[in-house]
């Protein structure tokens, strides 16, 4: 499905576009004690910044999945310049062509909100090994949203629902996840510095408008929209 915000991130080739940025990703993963023998799924890998870091830093087996052709092209280009062997797959997080019980760890950075949340969580639960863990960083409602804000979020980002912290926990539990922890991070949805970019040629001017609209929205609505970083395990 066409999504102008995701097209923006893809065409500008922005790495670490998720809340908290790549510095948050590095901080969380450094605490995760990832072993070389482990198999890691980076779902919604984008341009491959996190997948490349995982493979280079931890020497683990990384599978990178995305459904956006521009993202995948830039991810593959990034991986060519590294010594790491990363499996790149074009796929839908809601219906993965991957075997059950395949991964020790799943990373999802501002991905699940852009899908049918329950369907995706059930699919990620399916491909995660029993006792495996998942880290997700996702947009979260900080309070009850006025209809105007709710409509703006859905239209700007092409999403269908904005969950609060408890609703995220409930959805995770329903999908079979347990030991759900909130990773201690600032929760404010603020514009992070862009330090990783691989811009396409001939970008549609409409995407510049989307970028401006995004920046304006998060500046004006930080009281309503934040994010959470969750760590959970599969039962």
For residue range 138-158, list pLDDT tens digits in order: 999 999 999 999 999 999 999
What is the topology classification, in CATH, of domain 4-234? Rossmann fold (3.40.50)
- The least confident of 45-59, 111-125, 181-195, 200-214 is 181-195
Average pLDDT over residues 166-180: 98
**Domain ranges (residues) in the chain:** 4-234
Nearest one of 65, 50, 57, 52 to 35, comparing CA atoms:
57
Q: Report d(CA 57, CA 37) in Å as an integer.
A: 13
**What's the pLDDT score for residue 194?**
67
pLDDT in tens, 122-138: 999 999 999 999 999 99
Average pLDDT over residues 83-106: 95
Average pLDDT over residues 156-169: 96
Q: Report d(CA 107, CA 64) in Å as an integer.
A: 10
Average pLDDT over residues 87-108: 97
Q: What angle (nearest 5°) sits at the alpha carbon of residue 7, between those of residues 23 and 210?
A: 85
**What's the pLDDT score for residue 26?**
93
Q: What is the pTM of this model?
A: 0.93
């Amino acid at each position: 499905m066409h999504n102008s915000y995701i097209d923006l991130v893809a065409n500008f080739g922005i790495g670490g576009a998720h809340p908290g940025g790549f510095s948050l990703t590095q901080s969380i993963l450094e605490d995760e004690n990832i072993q070389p023998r482990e198999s890691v799924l980076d779902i919604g890998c984008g341009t491959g910044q996190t997948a490349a870091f995982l493979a280079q830093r931890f020497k683990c087996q990384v599978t990178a999945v995305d459904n956006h052709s521009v993202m995948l092209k830039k991810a593959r280009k990034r991986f060519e310049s590294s010594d790491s062997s990363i499996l790149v797959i074009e796929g839908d997080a809601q219906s993965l062509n991957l075997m059950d019980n395949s991964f020790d760890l799943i990373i999802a950075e501002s991905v699940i909100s852009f899908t049918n949340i329950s369907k995706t969580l059930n699919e990620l639960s399916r491909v995660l090994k029993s006792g495996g863990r998942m880290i997700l960083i996702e947009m979260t409602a900080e309070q009850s949203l006025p209809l105007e804000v709710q409509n703006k979020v859905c239209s700007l980002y092409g999403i269908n629902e904005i969950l609060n912290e408890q609703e995220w926990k409930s959805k995770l539990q329903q999908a079979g996840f347990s030991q759900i922890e909130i990773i201690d991070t600032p929760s404010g949805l603020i514009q992070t510095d862009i330090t990783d970019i691989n811009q396409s040629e001939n970008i549609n001017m409409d995407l510049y408008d989307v970028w401006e609209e995004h920046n304006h929205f998060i500046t004006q609505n930080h009281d309503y929209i934040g994010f959470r970083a969750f760590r959970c395990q599969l039962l």
